[in-house]
Amino acid sequence: MGFPFEQGTWEGVSGAIFMGFGTATPGIFTLIAIVVSVVLLAVGQKTEAAKYRDHK
């Protein structure tokens, strides 16, 4: 495979490699990740609480 740039430093890189740079994409992806994390934590808490109540 090989190195995609001529130099091994960041000096040879010009422009953004991330295609979503300068748009709302990073913010949207961050918001999606936060929502998914909160939902999973809430579901996990609910199931663990139910199992704890049944165990007693």
Per DSSP, the residues of 10-56 read: GGG--S-SSTTTTSSHHHHHHHHHHHHHHHHHHHHHHHHHHHHHHH-
Q: Is residue 7, in this structure, part of any structural domain at all? A: no
pTM of the model: 0.60
Q: pLDDT tens, 9-53?
A: 776 666 666 777 778 888 999 999 999 999 999 999 999 999 999
What pLDDT is recorded for position 3?
65
Q: Is residue 28, in this structure, part of any structural domain at all? A: yes
Q: Which long-range contacts (CB under 8 A, 24 or more apart) does 14-17 make?
A: none
What pLDDT is recorded for position 4?
64
How many domains does the structure of the chain reveal? 1
Q: Is residue 5, in this structure, part of any structural domain at all? A: no
Domain limits for position 27: 23-55
